[in-house]
Amino acid sequence: MALAALLAVPAATVQAAQRMPIGFFDDPSFRWSSTRGQNLQLAESTGASVIHTTATWAALAPTRPADPTNGDDPAYKLTDLDDLVFQSSIYNLRVMINITGTPKWANGGKAPNVMPKNLSDLTAFSKMLATRYNGRSGHGSVSLWSIWNEPNLQLFLTPQFVGQKIVGPANYAKLFKAAYTGIKSGNPWAKVAIGETSARGRDKPLKGISASIAPGTFARLLAQVKGLKFDAWAHHPYPTSPNLPPMQKVRYPNVTLSTLSKFETDLNNWFHRAVPIWITEYGHETKPAEPHGVTYAKQAAYAKQALTFAKKDPNVQMFIWFVFRDSAGNPWQSGLIGQSGATKPAFTAFGAVARLTDGSTVNVKAGAPVRVTMYVPYLAHYSEPGAVIGMTYFVYDSQGKAIAVGQPTATLAPDQSVTFTPTFTATKKQTYTIVATLNEANGHSESRTAFVTAS
């Protein structure tokens, strides 16, 4: 009976395009709300598997720590971040952390958008966080990271210009290298994204207007900096106004969804390698709370359109919606749930696509062994790294026919993943769906899906 049930599951799934992590970014709802546990559970029910959160250096370290690499130093204020990392895994959600915002003690009493005087302070802070959440320190696991929020805007990083000269990318490169070094030192398993760029910028200083650099220009100049190592480019391809559609036309080097493919091609050329894209912020605000927003029905249509577009783009490997739930503590009204707790139509529309999208995609060479990695935060909540994870997997071809089944074991890695080799041979230009039910020694289990393409 169990076999028959499993064989029936992927009929629609095998028709789906690529799989990637889907998630939400909403600190007021997931970190500070009295209903944060309920919100996390509802987020997971949509098909999400990632919660994006901000580690604002200025807020987490308002005074200089005596020992900056020790997360238990009394100067650090990590209670709500600790709670998010712990709680998320209960609901089968991974956490992605964005490090941003300089504290006054590190930049001479200036605003959070001003660079630290000593980049080693940022390295120490980043190492502390990565070590604390490396899966081995008793505080949970975070393996997804990014550095700074929208560093192509003066609002978040200054200066962008010295006279007429663009200096923002070079300044950001220093921040990124410092934080990257700290993260990798604290957690070698970490994946770190560069960018977190805003969708638009002006590329020249204008009197009385906050300085900004278009993401295409920012990336091109950043690529000229030697020694940059990163795992993906994070970007926020919002339309230029809350009421405009996902495919709004803009002039490149501004990058909304309509110019994302051009940006992807340029990134690959500038960095001389394939650069994955993480969409780490996207959303549409709604009326009447946001007068310039869209109707609930239009938000639902736009959410489906944007997520479907991202799903069909093989370069996009993550999609994060901002925000999950409207709240008094958040000026953005783009939640899939209203402030009252009632779901908007977008909740259902988003989930219908997300549940067929969340997972992982594996690109393999035809005839070669297929190595599949799946992330199991729920199991990792109850088991230590190194634990043996059991599973039953089924492999389905593009027609939905089961062509392989197996029951191997795998070792739980510090980044909440397991890796195994299913027993089938991938044929060129064919696609396959792998559905696995995984379990750990304490009796907990979860299901994961991977999409395999062969070239």
Predicted structure pTM score: 0.96
CA separation for the pair 407, 58 (Å, rounded): 48
Q: What 3-state DSSP class applies to 310?
A: helix
What CATH homologous superfamily does 362-454 map to?
Macroglobulin (MG2) domain (2.60.40.1930)
CB 376 within 8 A of CB 412: yes
CB 427 within 8 A of CB 377: no
Closest CA to 235 of 149, 293, 159: 149
Q: Does domain 20-358 have CATH number 3.40.50.300?
A: no
Could you read off the pLDDT of 351-365 as tens digits, one per residue? Answer: 999 999 999 999 999
Could you read off the pLDDT of 161-206 as tens digits, one per residue? Answer: 999 999 999 999 999 999 999 999 999 999 999 999 999 999 999 9
Which bin fits 80, alpha (ψ -120 to 50), beta or left (φ > 0)?
A: alpha
CA separation for the pair 60, 77 (Å, rounded): 5
CB 411 within 8 A of CB 387: yes
pLDDT of the residue at 17: 55
* Regions of the chain with pLDDT less than 70: 1-17
Q: How many CB atoms lie within 10 A of CB 287?
A: 16
Domain boundaries, the chain: 20-358, 362-454
Residue with tokens 């009252």: 340
